[in-house]
Amino acid sequence: MSSPASKGDREKVVSKLPAHLRQELKIRAAQHGTDIQSAVDSGITAWRGLGSNLSTIDTAGAESFATFLPEAQWSGFRADCKNRGVSIIQGLAQSVQLWLDSTPAPTVKRPDTVRRIIVCNQKGGVGKTAITAGAGEALAESEQALVPVRVSKHFAALLNEDQADAPALEDLPGLGQRVLLIDFDPQGHLTKQLGHEPIVMGTDSLTNHMAGDAKGKLSDLIVTIDDDRFGDRLHLLPACTDAFLLDVRLSSARAREAALERALAPVEADYDVILIDCPPSLGLSMDAAVYYGRRRPDEIPGNSGALIVVQAEDSSADAYELLTSQIEDMRSDLGLDVDYLGIVVNHYDARRGYIATSSLQSWMDIRDPRVVGVVGDLKEQKEAVRTKRPLLAYAPRCEQSVAIRALAREISK
């Protein structure tokens, strides 16, 4: 049936479509950045131009489906269905399947150089671990599924309690990246939050590989984060308590700034993105992390670099100054190009009043590096940690998950 209700010069039409075709249509249209009505229009146009019918599609259990088509398209389509001896539902299903077959899913864009993101701040307790895990999860979500994202280039709406100013949610395909999370903090919070145990001291570890005392392949230490939404794309290099000794062991290592890069070089080709959960330290291990995140020859600016996690309060500003001073010293002393990927304001809660809102405004005023994410202080993250599950698997539609997906897209541009 059709309705005079219009969208521009289109008329609203209502029919039925099998649920699996409707879902595939929704995902494929989003993957190509087009709208469903244009996809259906293209499919019907192609179907009407065929010289013969297509194979019959099982339409049992078809559910109500509505879209907008150009004026007269629907009446012409109905007439063609009658002439070909097929039902309108069958003709529509064939048209959608024809568009899907002629418009394959785009391949996931892989970086020319593995992206190396060091998530850092000298201050502990700001939530570096949660941001590392969440960003990795968001990058690894399946490109064959739609996930809710709140996309916005600006965060000014967060300073206004009127939620009417907040950007709307949008369902977008997952990013489908192959991701390695590295727990570079001897406290091992990232490892434990994701349901794994730290590597037993006295066995092989990242520390041993960095110090030149490897006992096996680094790849043998890597574990998979099991969840259907990540497929086999999200991996973890667990922490080992021997990381407390890393700075001491690096003090006598050759070219110690490059120790992390030497250790990770054998596994880089397996991943699109490597995220490192850095310790709250300004020691030699942090030097190695900064060196690893530097821009390599022929690497495009912003592909790799430092993602700084802060809170909307004053002590984060002091720690930020210490960290950026260390990065700037390495830039000048070693002639490195180290890009700032941005600032993430974590644990934000406007209900805390002037301290929170004025601090957020101060972070946004910096502009270089700019704020690329604001993540609320909500219960779901704490619940996910308690259950030792990835946040985006535990509560995929919560506000924190939505914000972290927006962050992942901001740093992937």
Looking at the predicted structure, is the pLDDT value of residue 107 above 80?
A: yes
Mean pLDDT within 21-43: 94
pLDDT at 106: 92
Looking at 47-61, 97-111, 143-157, 393-407, which range is the least confident one?
143-157
pLDDT score at 51: 87
Q: What is the pLDDT of residue 5?
A: 47
Output the pLDDT for position 139.
97
What average pLDDT does range 180-197 have in this prediction?
94
Is-cis flag, bond preceding 369, omega within 30? Answer: yes
pLDDT digits (tens, 9 = 90+) for 288-319: 999 999 999 999 999 999 999 998 887 778 88
Task: Tell me the CB-side half-sphere exposure of residue 113, using CA atoms within 13 A.
Answer: 16
Would you say residue 13 has pLDDT above 90? Answer: yes
**Which residue's structure tokens are 């909307």?**
312
Lowest mean pLDDT among 44-48, 174-178, 211-215: 211-215
Question: What CA dihedral angle connects 362, 364, 365 and 367, to 10 degrees?
Answer: 140
| For the chain, percent of residues with pLDDT exceeding 70 | 94
Average pLDDT of span 264-274 = 97
Assign 7 a pLDDT band (cuts: 50, 70, 90).
low
Confidence of residue 279 (pLDDT cuts 50, 70, 90): confident
Residue 155's pLDDT band (cuts 50, 70, 90): low
Question: What separation in angstroms does the CA of 127 have from each of 60, 130, 217, 333, 374?
Answer: 49, 5, 31, 30, 12
pLDDT of residue 283: 85
CA dihedral 223, 227, 230, 236 (to 10 degrees): -20
- Predicted local distance difference test score (pLDDT) of residue 218: 96
- How large is the average pLDDT for residues 184-208? 92
* pLDDT class of 263 with cuts at 50, 70, 90: very high
Strand, helix or coil for residue 374: strand
Show the tokens assigned to 73. Answer: 């398209």
pLDDT at 161: 47
Indicate whether 69 pLDDT > 50.
yes
Sign of torsion over alpha carbons 139, 145, 148, 153? positive
Closest CA relative to residue 13, chosen from 71, 90, 54, 96: 71
Mean pLDDT to the nearest integer, 54-71: 94
| β partners of residue 10 | 7, 70
What residue type is 105 in one-letter code? A
Average the pLDDT over 127-138 and give the result. 96
Q: Is the pLDDT of residue 204 over 80?
A: yes
Tokens of 142: 């399946």
Domains, the chain, with CATH or none: 2-102 (1.10.1220), 115-410 (3.40.50.300)
Q: What is the DSSP string of 300-360?
A: PTTSSEEEEEEESSHHHHHHHHHHHHHHHHHHHHHT----EEEEEEEEE-GGGTHHHHHHH
Region 346-364: what's the mean pLDDT? 87
Q: Indicate whether 356 pLDDT > 90.
A: no
Residue 168 has pLDDT above 50, yes or no: yes
**Higher pLDDT, residue 61 or 319:** 61
DSSP character at residue 94: H
State the pLDDT at residue 164: 45
| Mean of pLDDT over the chain | 90
Percent of the chain with pLDDT over 90: 68
pLDDT score of 177: 97
